[in-house]
Amino acid sequence: MPSSSIRVLTSSDVDQVLTDLSPEIALASQSNVFKHFSSPSPSKEGEHAFIQTPHRITISTEQSTMLFMPSRAPTSDNSTTSSIKIVSVPTVSDGGLPATTMVMDESTGRVKAVVNARKLTALRNACGSALFLRLFPSPTPPTHLVLFGSGAQCHLHTILFLRLYSTIQSVTFVVRSSTARSQSLINDLSKRFPGISIKAEVRPSSSSEELAEVVGKGDIIVAATSSTVPLFTAQPKKDARVILIGSYRPTMHEVERSLVESAGVVVDSIEACMREAGELIDSNLTNENLVEIGQLLDDSRAEEYKRKVQERANSIGGNGVVIFKSVGLGIQDVAITNIVLEQAEKMNLGHVVENYD
């Protein structure tokens, strides 16, 4: 494709790529950028660093909050990719978050692709969560998956986890109310995985006995909401894995402070989480209590970091629970978008705008 042309990938184009995309390829790409991000000695330093992930820019309007996330990341052994993702969070939800990623041609400085990122955001988050579960597997194979929410994040997490864990027998979505979106989610997943019990539970009070029972069965609990109050008060079962990917502001809290303070805590970025994640900001945890997922992927010190997390999870008052808190890193978007774009080019997908520049 000429350097002055742009490839545009719609939601349908991305869906076609994801249908055949190997989970292991996606996981490997995310592992690579996490490892580089947390490396004490980056591949290059200074203004031309392989990893560049400035803090996102936020613009608020009466109708939505728009997030602008530029990043540069290594996408192979000897190359890097730069991009910017733009996500809009509507004041009143209409069933999803519009998201687009622009991929740059680093040799010319031109835009080379515009990619619908609505599902890619969810996929890269699901990959990060899956990497966390591989690093901290439950003592017994997981059988019950519990998710708070019914959007794309929960959808992609469920698909990936059911592909990776054949032991999961039931999936429960905890929702505020039964909606067309939640019913569509259940219908889609039931068709994809006919042998799995998949249902939605309308959320009662966060402290209700019914919700406590649901939470108490979850081997893996995923929270993907923008809630400002804890979604549940019940203590998760022993050795549960809790994944928090919804909150991204200091005022948002998906779980109680007491749970965070008694668990081992893994994050995508210590700096970003301590600035944005309300659950961590309001706890008594410090930077020293947190471990980045990229540090756990460091071959030379991985076991040391794993022990640090596990010791906290099993300390006095702990129950073996380990939490993964992610606010999302722009480098993740670079990596997953680059994979989808490469596959789309091989499949000749998308609309090419010739002579754009």
Q: Are residues 37 and 175 in the same domain?
A: no
Q: Are residues 217 and 243 in the same domain?
A: yes
**Average pLDDT score, the chain:** 91
DSSP string covering 72-102 = EEE-SSS-EEEEEEEEEEESS--SS--EEEE
Shortest CA distance to 278 belongs to which of 242, 258, 251, 246?
251
> Is 225 a domain residue?
yes
Confidence of residue 94 (pLDDT cuts 50, 70, 90): low
Q: In this predicted structure, which of 6-15, 31-40, 79-88 has the lowest mean pLDDT?
A: 31-40
Tens digits of residue pLDDT in 189-219: 999 999 999 999 997 677 788 899 999 999 9
Q: Are residues 301 and 177 in the same domain?
A: yes
Q: Is the distance from CB of 125 to CB of 85 less than 8 angstroms? A: no
Q: Are residues 151 and 293 in the same domain?
A: yes
| Mean pLDDT to the nearest integer, 4-31 | 94
Q: What H or E segment, with its residue span, contains residue 264? A: strand 264-267
Is 254 in a helix, a strand, or coil? coil
> Is 1 a domain residue?
no
Q: Are residues 270 and 313 in the same domain?
A: yes
Q: Are residues 154 and 300 in the same domain?
A: yes
Give the C-alpha separation, 72 to 104, whole Å. Answer: 10
Side-chain-side CA neighbours of residue 200 (13 Å): 22
Q: Which residue has the higher pLDDT, 50 or 155?
A: 155
> Is 89 a domain residue?
yes
pTM value surpassing 0.85: yes
pLDDT at 338: 94
Instruction: Return the CATH number at 204.
Output: 3.40.50.720
Instruction: Return the CATH number at 95.
Output: 3.30.1780.10
Confidence of residue 77 (pLDDT cuts 50, 70, 90): low
Give the C-alpha separation, 123 to 267, whole Å. Answer: 17
> Is 306 a domain residue?
yes
> Is 176 a domain residue?
yes
Give the C-alpha separation, 60 to 198, whole Å. Answer: 37
pLDDT at 300: 84
Q: Are residues 154 and 262 in the same domain?
A: yes
pLDDT exceeds 90 at position 112: yes
pLDDT at 6: 95
Tens digits of residue pLDDT in 158-176: 999 999 999 999 999 999 8
Confidence of residue 135 (pLDDT cuts 50, 70, 90): very high
Q: Are residues 237 and 137 in the same domain?
A: yes
Residue type, position 12, single letter? S
pLDDT at 176: 86
> Is 202 a domain residue?
yes
pLDDT at 3: 67
**112: which residues sit within 8 A by CB, 6+ positions away?**
1, 3, 5, 6, 7, 103, 104, 105
Residue type, position 354, single letter? E
pLDDT at 46: 62
> Is 79 a domain residue?
yes
Q: Are residues 23 and 133 in the same domain?
A: no
**287: which residues sit within 8 A by CB, 6+ positions away?**
270, 274
| Mean pLDDT to the nearest integer, 97-104 | 92
Domain that holds residue 47: 6-119+330-353
Tens digits of residue pLDDT in 309-326: 999 999 877 799 999 999
Q: Are residues 201 and 315 in the same domain?
A: yes
Q: Are residues 230 and 154 in the same domain?
A: yes
pLDDT at 204: 64
Q: Is the distance from CB of 69 to CB of 58 less than 8 angstroms? A: no
| Mean pLDDT to the nearest integer, 236-251 | 94
pLDDT at 4: 82
pLDDT exceeds 70 at position 42: no
> Is 204 a domain residue?
yes
pLDDT at 92: 75
Q: Are residues 104 and 135 in the same domain?
A: no
| Tally of domains within the chain | 2
pLDDT exceeds 70 at position 307: yes
